[in-house]
Amino acid sequence: MKTTKTLFAAMATALLLISCNSDDNAPTTGTGSLNIEFDNVYQSNNLILNTQPNTTSQNEVLKIGQLKYIVSNIKLTKADGSIFTYPKSQSYFIVDETDEASTTLQLQNIPSGDYVSVSFGIGVDQQQWELGADGQGNFLALAQSEDMLWSWSAGYKFLAFEGTFTSPTVASETAFMVHTGKTGTDYNYTTITLPLTNSALVRTDITPQIHIFADASKIIDGQNKIVLSDNNSGGMGAMIMGGENLALITANLSQMFTVNHVHNE
């Protein structure tokens, strides 16, 4: 009889533990927070500005001095397929490699749930820009202060990628500058959708962190190969701010971002 009672007690304890664990993992009501960290790298290496030599597949060696990009229109998809759209008025950020605080986006008031993918834009969408200067809220002043605006009529810089390079035909370090954004009739805005490595469990007491690698090598050395030497003219260095290359670079951005891992803490 004692053995039977002990067995029942053990089973009850086990069921209680399973129930508690199940409750801990179950989606709850309410809202929580979620962080998205953009970790800029070059291929398999951490990105180091100004001094790190980075070799492209075209045998050009880059020293990157600046990497900035606008992240916008964040959406999160739950395991059940439902989508939470972060409020548009709060959904514009500038990620700047020289400002560590800017590389982690802190999102608030996210409905509790298990999220399995994230999407975001690179740049400012045309609908937002068409609201005019008065319709940009505080973001216009931020973009101006961060030098991510050519002018109001010309529009935002979606991505700023700058530094120096050498190549088999360019022996001395020469400046390069790649800026994407609206050019003529081409808007060059792109949306990235990334599956998560594991679910981001947003709870009132759990703030997940989605760790995204942003591979700077893909900007000019992704599915489309942009040779800086071919754009080096007029004694100004390689300046790519318009023309057919911008559409090719925009297409490359779809390969630039990958989810490395998700922390649920």
Q: What is the pLDDT along the chain (265 residues), one digit of tens a residue?
A: 434 334 344 444 444 444 334 344 555 689 999 999 999 999 999 999 999 999 999 999 999 999 999 999 999 999 999 999 999 999 999 999 999 999 999 999 999 999 999 999 999 999 999 999 999 999 999 999 999 999 988 999 999 999 999 999 999 999 999 999 998 888 999 999 999 999 999 999 999 999 999 999 999 999 999 999 999 987 789 999 988 999 999 999 999 999 999 999 9
For residue 28, give both structure tokens: 């709850």
| Rounded-to-integer distance, Cα 213 and Cα 215, Å | 6
Evaluate whether residue 257 is within a structural domain: yes
Evaluate whether residue 53 is within a structural domain: yes
Evaluate whether residue 2 is within a structural domain: no
| Rounded-to-integer distance, Cα 191 and Cα 223, Å | 17
Evaluate whether residue 92 is within a structural domain: yes
Evaluate whether residue 24 is within a structural domain: no
Tell me, what's the pLDDT at 1?
42
Distances in Å between the Cα of 165 and the Cα atoms of 39, 160, 180, 189, 237 are 23, 16, 19, 26, 9
Evaluate whether residue 38 is within a structural domain: yes
| Rounded-to-integer distance, Cα 219 and Cα 141, Å | 26
What domain range is 245 assigned to?
A: 29-264
Tell me, what's the pLDDT at 21?
40
Tell me, what's the pLDDT at 27?
56
Count how many domains the chain has. Answer: 1
Evaluate whether residue 17 is within a structural domain: no
Distances in Å between the Cα of 8 and the Cα atoms of 15, 30, 77, 119 are 10, 37, 43, 49
Tell me, what's the pLDDT at 153?
87
Evaluate whether residue 180 is within a structural domain: yes
| Rounded-to-integer distance, Cα 250 and Cα 261, Å | 25
Residue 133 gets the label, from left (phi > 0), alpha (psi -120 to 50) or beta, of alpha
